[in-house]
Structure 1
Amino acid sequence: MNAEFMQAFEQLGKEKGIAPEVLFDAVEAALISAYKRNFGAVQNVRVSLDRMTGEIHVFARKTVVEEVNDARLEIELLEARKSDVRYEVEDVVEIEVTPKDFGRIAAQTAKQVVVQRIREAERGIIYEEFSNRESDILTGIVQRIEQKNVYIDLGKAEAILAPSEQIPGEVYKHGERVKSYIIEVKKTTKGPQILVSRTHPGLLKRLFELEVPEIHDGVVEIKSVAREPGARSKIAVYSRDENVDPVGSCVGHKGVRVQAIVNELRGEKIDIVKWNTDPAKYIANALSPAKVVNVEVNEVEKISQVIVPDYQLSLAIGKEGQNARLAAKLTGWKIDIKSESQARTEG
């Protein structure tokens, strides 16, 4: 290998963010394997690669002994002292054994090592990039669907949307752009494995952060999210500025902001409720769109008794208990709902 080759070698390492010395060490290790494979599997050898000129020298390392049992690994003391009288038994003598045509093998080996190391480095860079984006949202293109797993092309990498992370009933088409939420990035021998979700509550939160400037700027804060993917979600918001309506900010003019998120989630209904430090008011808000007459709370056990007008009972509970279930998940309180007539009967 000539000096130009070595310069290109070093430059390539720098461009790809690999320390040149790491590449040189890797090439030397690979050259030892290449030599043993082609010229002598048993020999103990050292390969020296000149960092400036690219010259390669192979040295057989032999232990100095009184009597030789294996000439490939040992050298007699008298023989060793012919080159240097200071050698003693158990010293190691290095004898150059560089084959004439080793340069061709060396160049081929070096190329393979460089390609492999660059590939590893690039995988490492991609892993770092995406592992730093866990709990973030990204947009990709549906590449293929295999065994119900959806593979999403992210440009530099590929994400996997597992069946358990897909919105029930959602159909994914090849070439379609889709937003998803990074739940985990794993390191594998084939590069980073990026696991994404369409069902995670974090996706809803991040969509609102992207769509609502007041949330992005920190004026409006998302306090809690409860979600039943593909069906309905509730999100509790709070404003740090009393002049800013947190619910209105999230809904947007003529509902344009929330509608963009509903469209992204293929029609999932979203209730935006106002968070409150008072648990009774917060629970009443969380049961939206139902109107609430009264809320009694047991702060020790975090249980609430909610009374609603008779005609609002089915709305408050929701289809198959969904509204009450989401409100409980959103607030962290157990919610017992009764109509006014039920309350009077029991009272």
Structure 2
Amino acid sequence: MNAEFIEALQEIEKDKGISKDIIFDALEAALISGYKKNFGSSQNVEVLIDRVTGEVRVFAKKEVSEEVYDDLLEISLEEAKEIDPSFELGDIVQIEITPRNFGRIAAQTSKQVVTQKIKEAEREIIYGEYIDRENEILTGIVQRAGSASTLIDLGKLEGSLSVTEQIPGESFQQGDRIKVFVVEVKKTSKGPQILLSRTHPGLVKRLFELEVPEIQDGTVEIFSISREAGSRTKIAVYSNDPEVDPVGACVGFKGNRVRAIVDELNGEKIDIIVWDKDPAVFIENSLSPSKVLKVSVNEDQKSALVVVPDYQLSLAIGKEGQNARLAAKLTGWKIDIKSETQYIGEGGSKDELNYSKSDEMDSIL
């Protein structure tokens, strides 16, 4: 090594952000291994690199002992004092043992170490960039669509979209541009690994944040989301401004905002619900589009009994129980739905039910 090598390290430090000291420490550790590999020594050795000239020197480290049992690791007090009279028992003496051809080994090792450190630094920089993107949306280009996962080009590296994180029925072609949700960024021996999703509820949340200015500025907030990807999503919102309708803000003029999100999700249905601090009202809203006659809540068990008109029972429950299931996830309450007839048949009072005019007309007809 020489002064040119030191200058090269200074350039690397400037361009790549890698400290020279980190490279020197790694080089010295690697050269110790290189020395032992090439010279078969079991000595306790230390390699020192001059930070100014780049000169490499190898030293054997020996403990000053009263009796020497292993001359590779120990040195007598008499021999130590010949080197420096100040040495005492227990001190460590460094004796230079630099081989004549060690420069060749040092040059070869330095190239490998510097290359490795540059790779590690670049991976660390990329990891630092993407770790802050967890739980965010990225737009990527499909590189390769496989049966188990799809590779997405995100710019500086590729992300993995497993088949379980793809919307059911969705297929991709190479070159397709898609939006993906960053679930996790992991460090691996091969560099950062990014796990992506198209089924995560967070994707819907971020899409609404992108499309709705009132959400971006905090006027409207998202309380919760429940989703069965590819089929239906319920999203509960509320407004911090009494003059702003949270549902209207999310739907947009002629439905343009929510339509853009539905299109991105390949036609997935989206129910936008108004959150209310009153659990009974929130639960009633969550069962939209079904009408509700009564909600009785049990705060201790966090459960609710909901009564709906007979003709609305199937709508309230939904196909294969989906509407009720999503409502329960959205509110965090266990919801038991009964028809008006079931409720009265089990001893409930009809007078307790909250009929609207349309409900009354339906019962008369």
Q: So what's the TM-score if we normalise by structure 2?
A: 0.84
Q: 2:175 matched to 1:168?
A: no
Aligned to 2:234: 234
Q: 2:169 aligns to what SS in structure 1?
A: coil
Please state how far the C-alpha of 1:49 moved relative to its aligned partner.
0.9
Aligned to 1:2: 2
Aligned to 1:298: 297
Partner letter of residue 203 of structure 1?
A: L
Please state how far the C-alpha of 1:41 moved relative to its aligned partner.
2.7
CA spacing shift, 1:209–1:63, aligned 2, 3 Å: same
Aligned counterparts of 2:221 and 2:28: Cα–Cα separation in 1? 57
RMSD: 2.6
Please list, as runs of the form range in 1=range in 2, the aligned pairs for 1:299-318 lying within 5 A after superposition.
299-300=298-299, 301-318=301-318
Q: 2:99 aligns to what SS in structure 1?
A: coil
CA spacing shift, 1:247–1:60, aligned 2, 3 Å: same
Please list, as runs of the form range in 1=range in 2, the aligned pairs for 1:74-153 lying within 5 A after superposition.
74-75=74-75, 79-88=79-88, 91-145=91-145, 148-153=148-153
CA spacing shift, 1:52–1:310, aligned 2, 3 Å: same
Aligned to 1:39: 39
| Contact kept? 2:279, 2:297, Cα under 8 Å | no
Partner letter of residue 318 of structure 2?
A: G
Please state how far the C-alpha of 1:156 moved relative to its aligned partner.
2.4
Moved more, 55-64 or 229-238: 55-64
| Contact kept? 1:297, 1:305, Cα under 8 Å | yes
| Contact kept? 1:309, 1:339, Cα under 8 Å | yes
| Contact kept? 2:280, 2:297, Cα under 8 Å | no
Q: 2:315 matched to 1:282?
A: no
Please list, as runs of the form range in 1=range in 2, the aligned pairs for 1:233-252 lying within 5 A after superposition.
233-252=233-252
Aligned counterparts of 1:214 and 1:123: Cα–Cα separation in 2? 37
Aligned to 2:363: none
| Contact kept? 1:23, 1:117, Cα under 8 Å | yes
Moved more, 249-258 or 147-156: 147-156
Q: So what's the TM-score if we normalise by structure 1?
A: 0.88
Aligned to 1:222: 222
| Sequence identity (%) | 64
Aligned to 2:352: none
Q: 1:290 aligns to what SS in structure 2?
A: coil
Q: 1:181 aligns to what SS in structure 2?
A: strand
CA spacing shift, 1:310–1:63, aligned 2, 3 Å: closer
Aligned counterparts of 2:85 and 2:303: Cα–Cα separation in 1? 92
Moved more, 169-178 or 210-219: 169-178
Q: 1:168 aligns to what SS in structure 2?
A: coil
CA spacing shift, 1:95–1:328, aligned 2, 3 Å: closer
Moved more, 109-118 or 76-85: 76-85
Aligned counterparts of 2:225 and 2:330: Cα–Cα separation in 1? 6
Please state how far the C-alpha of 1:91 moved relative to its aligned partner.
4.3
Q: Which runs of 5+ in 1 are unaligned?
A: none
Partner letter of residue 296 of structure 2?
A: V
Q: Deviations over 1:292-339 (max 9, x none)?
A: 3x2232242433333434433322222112112212221223333344
| Contact kept? 2:207, 2:261, Cα under 8 Å | yes
Q: Which runs of 5+ in 2 are unaligned?
A: 349-365
Partner letter of residue 140 of structure 1?
A: G
Aligned to 1:22: 22
Partner letter of residue 111 of structure 1?
A: K
Aligned counterparts of 1:14 and 1:49: Cα–Cα separation in 2? 20
